Structure formats: structure tokens, C-alpha cells
Amino acid sequence: MGRYLNTTVAKKFAMGLSGLFLVSFLLMHVTVNFVSTVSPSVYNSLSEFMGYNFVVQLLLQPILVIGVVFHFVMGMVLEVNNRKARPIGYEKFDKSSNTTWMSRNMIITGIVILLFLGLHMYDFFFPELAYKFGNGYDAAQVPDFYTGLVAKFQDPIRVGIYVLSFVFLMLHLLHGFYGSFQSIGWGDRNSRALKGFAKWFSILVPLLFIYIALFHYFGSL
Amino acid sequence: MKLFLKIWRQENAQAKGQMVDYTIDGIDPNMSFLEMLDVLNEQLVAENKEPIEFDHDCREGICGTCSLQINGQPHGPDRLTTTCQLHMRKFKDGDTIYIEPFRAKAFPVVKDLVIDRSSFERIQQAGGYVSVNTSGNTIDANTIPVDKESADTAFDSAACIGCGACVAACKNASAALFVGAKISQFANLPQGQVEATQRAINMVNQMDAEGFGSCTNTGACEIECPKGIKLTNIATMNREYIKATTKG
Ligand code: SF4
Ligand code: FES
């Protein structure tokens, strides 16, 4: 089995699979965030569940981190390999006549998303580590997640960075979501419906994230 | 028509090579692109200069040898067209045209615009066939029933002429469309099932060994393919490969 995993097709399969996994996580994340614009208390209890549930924290979270790291490292490995496949380039290469900007620049949109993830971890993940894993569960210590969230979206520069990052996420998904199906060998007869679904998902989910950020920024003015 | 040409010239496989400027006049818009190059070569021979080497054979879009990168696109600006089927009326008087060989590590330049595409041959040899007993009692393929849809899909894949435009157009120099077409052609037919596992594994391995890049689904290949080979062939290849590896 191991000898099969090293081929370009297997690597792309793994890339597609990890991409689809990350997309499913996005859907969950945007749903929870959206609740914050409707009901602070439900948002708080959802966040508490996510933050303290054993399965989420000790099983799903590590899988997610592994998924992100894998997707990025594999993306880099493939990019380096692909560059080696054409050591002498063209004098004139009209790429825009047959491909979209998104499809050609997944590495750029991917790196921007990764940088954003750094900021996101700094904003939300690291501060929570201390009380989550510090002294075990203590109901008195559970923070008011909603107030914390709104506080993060006071700074217009941070909101701007968030909005811009989600535009990059949209560009990444617009190519990557459907491409993932192609990479795992799906996308034949049902490809039109699948393409349409992937396209609208890729537009709407980042727009929702943007809406949530702006909602809390303007709501708190 | 008067045209300004920028053409890749390279003495041999080891030489460095460079773009050289040529001006050509009196080109009939109804000439094919290759005829235009013929005229240029006659002009060069008359001037006692070395003519430009370029590949061609059938000149009617079936052999797949006439592979040129024209103004940054394989086989030029027309869709579903090989270089030999491209006409000069697609260009305007006074245009500058870049003519380069298809570029890929697995397609080394032999001389000028001629490239070595034996990497494709080796991929084919790795599994792009069905083994048939040819000792005199060969069974007619038509005795095995094939439904119309599968036959049509297999036929569409079999239209690939191995020109290499998919590789040339791809930013990763990936041969996924070519290999996908060759695998799908058999994956859709009952005759291809017997060797399906080995075919998928061996052809993908050979594709990688030749140094082609990996597919990132940009779709450039599908647009530039003169035979209209669809991206779904790549999905089929991926599926066949995954099936093969989990089986064997
Ligand atoms: S898939 Fe199309 S572009 Fe690629 S080799 Fe076959 S005919 Fe040429
Ligand atoms: S010369 Fe045969 S396809 Fe163009």
C-alpha cells in the first residue's frame, strides 16, 4: 500500500480529501458564528460546548490541526514538484486565455489564509488554552464568549484584515472546493449540479463570515 | 500579409537556444500555419541559412506531431484545432507571432521546435493497451456486447492523438489529461477490465517517473486539447487508480 501513496495521483487524492474535510469544518464554524448574530446566549452555550467537550477538544481539534498542517505541507510539496516539471519556461505563456486566476494562484490564496489562521489562533485559540486546559473544567471560569467575540471586532484594522482574508478564502474555495471532488475521482455525470453547489457554497460561506464580522463591528459602534 | 516572427532556435539538445526574429512577407491568409513556416524555410534556404526544424506528418489533425506553442498557447489561438489546421487568417497583417516548442522536463527539445515525446510512448507501453491473443484465433471484439453510452465515452477518450498540448498548456506540465484519456478509453470497455488494476498503477507510475507535474484542476488542458478530451477523464483516472491501489 505504502508504495502507492507516493504518486502524484495519490497525493492529489489526499489533498482533495483534506480539503473537503476542511470545507466541512468551515460549514460548522460559520453556523456557530452566525448564531452569534441571532442569539448571544445560544452562541455562548455552543461555544462552551465546543470549548469544553472532551471529544471536540481532544479528538476533533487535533484532527483539524493535522488536517490544516497536512493540507498546507502537501500543497507546498506539490507546488515545488510542479515547478520542477517545467525547468525552462516559455517566452510567452498566455495562461489567462485558458485558466482562471484562482486556479493558478492557489498557493498565494492558501498562504494568505494560513497567515490569517495565525492571527485567528492568536485572537481566539491561544487565549483560551490557559483556562481550557489549565485547571480542568470550572463553571465559574467559563468566559462570556459573546462579549469576547464582540470585543475582538472593535478594531477596524482587524475587521479589515478579517474581511480581506475571507475574500481570499472565497477565491481559494472557488477553485479548490470543486477541484477536490475531481481529485478524489468524483465529478463525472453529476458534475454540473456539484459544480453549482460548490460555487455557491464558496461564495456564500465567506460572505457569511464577512457579514458576521461587520455585524459585530457596526453593531458595537 | 506581413508578419514578425519570434522563433525558438536551438542547435541541438545540449545547446542553449534563444528566440530569433524573422520578418516574412507575402503570406496568403488561406495558408496553414505550417505552410507559412514552409515559406519561411524556403526563404532561409535561399539565403543559405539553416531552416527551422519543426514536427509534422499528416497535416490534417490526426497524427499529433505538429506541436507548437503559438503566442503562448499550444496549437495557437483556435480551439479544437491542431497547428496544421490553423490558418493564417486567424492573424492580422503586421502581427508579431511567438513560436516556441512545447515546454516540459519530460519533453526535451531535440532541435529548434522539435521535442522528444517518447515519454508518452513509455507511458503507453506501461499499460495503454489490452492484451489480445493474435495467434490466428483472435476473437472479434464485437462479440462482446457494449452499451452505447460506454462505447461513446470510450470513443471520445480514444480520440486523443497524443500531441502533448495538454502538458504544454498546463502550468504544472502535467500529463494527467493524456494519461486520463488513455486509461478511460479502456476503463469504459469490458475488454479493458481484465488488466485495469495493473494498467492504472503502471501508467500513473510511469507518468511520475517521466517527471510530469501533478494535476491541479486548472482545466487549461481541456480548453487547449485539439480533440476535445474532457477533464472528466482525469477524474476517471483518479478513480481507477484509487480502485486499483485499494484492490492490489
Ligand atoms: S489529451 Fe488532447 S491535448 Fe493531450 S495529448 Fe491527447 S489530444 Fe493532445
Ligand atoms: S501534422 Fe498531424 S496532426 Fe498536425
How close, in Å, is residue B63 to chain A by CA atoms?
Answer: 24
Share of chain A above pLDDT 70, in %: 91
Here the CATH number for the domain that contains residue B145 is: 1.10.1060.10
User: Are residue B44 and residue B122 in the same domain, yes or no?
Assistant: no
Ligand nearest to the CA of B221: 1
User: Are residue B99 and residue B196 in the same domain, yes or no?
Assistant: no
Here the CATH number for the domain that contains residue B55 is: 3.10.20.30
User: Are residue B105 and residue B127 in the same domain, yes or no?
Assistant: no
Minimum Cα–Cα distance from B223: chain A residue: A98
User: Are residue B156 and residue B195 in the same domain, yes or no?
Assistant: yes
- Comparing CA positions, the residue from B50, B26, B32 lying closest to residue B113 is B50
User: Are residue B140 and residue B237 in the same domain, yes or no?
Assistant: yes
Positive/negative CA dihedral, B12, B17, B23, B27: positive
User: Are residue B220 and residue B103 in the same domain, yes or no?
Assistant: no
Position A71 pLDDT exceeds 70? yes
Q: Do A7 and B73 touch (CB under 8 A)?
A: no
User: Are residue B106 and residue B134 in the same domain, yes or no?
Assistant: no
Domains parsed from chain A with CATH numbers: 2-85+103-219 (1.20.1300.10)
| Parallel/antiparallel/unpaired status of strands B96-100 and B3-9 | parallel
Which residue has the least CA distance to atom 8 on ligand 1?
Answer: B163
Domain span holding position B101? 3-111
Mean pLDDT of the residues in chain B: 96
Compute the average pLDDT of residues A51-80: 93
Q: Is the pTM of this model over 0.80?
A: yes
Total structural domains within chain B: 2
Tens of pLDDT, residues B212-235: 999 999 999 999 999 999 999 999
Amino acid at A136: G
User: Are residue B140 and residue B164 in the same domain, yes or no?
Assistant: yes
User: Are residue B101 and residue B48 in the same domain, yes or no?
Assistant: yes
Tens of pLDDT, residues A197-217: 999 999 999 999 999 999 999
User: Are residue B174 and residue B86 in the same domain, yes or no?
Assistant: no
Of B36, B55, B59, B114, the one to substitute when testing ligand 2's pocket (max ligand atoms within 8 A of C-beta) is B59
User: Are residue B171 and residue B128 in the same domain, yes or no?
Assistant: yes
Instruction: Please say which residue of B84, B111, B138 terminates a domain.
Output: B111
User: Are residue B47 and residue B129 in the same domain, yes or no?
Assistant: no
CB-CB: which of A9, A13, A103 is closest to B218?
A: A103
Which residue has the least CA distance to atom 6 on ligand 1?
Answer: B160
- CA–chain centroid gap for B53, Å, is 18
Instruction: Please say which residue of B85, B111, B137 terminates a domain.
Output: B111
Q: Do A8 and B207 touch (CB under 8 A)?
A: yes
- Contact between A150 and A216 under an 8 Å Cβ cutoff? The reply is yes
Give the ipTM of the model, two decimals please: 0.95
Instruction: Please say which residue of B59, B92, B111 terminates a domain.
Output: B111
How close, in Å, is residue B56 to chain A by CA atoms?
Answer: 21
Name every residue in A having a CB less than 8 A away from some CB of B: 1, 4, 7-13, 78, 81-95, 97-100, 103-104, 106, 175, 178-179, 181-188, 191
Position B59 pLDDT exceeds 70? yes
CB-CB: which of A85, A91, A106 is closest to B6?
A: A91
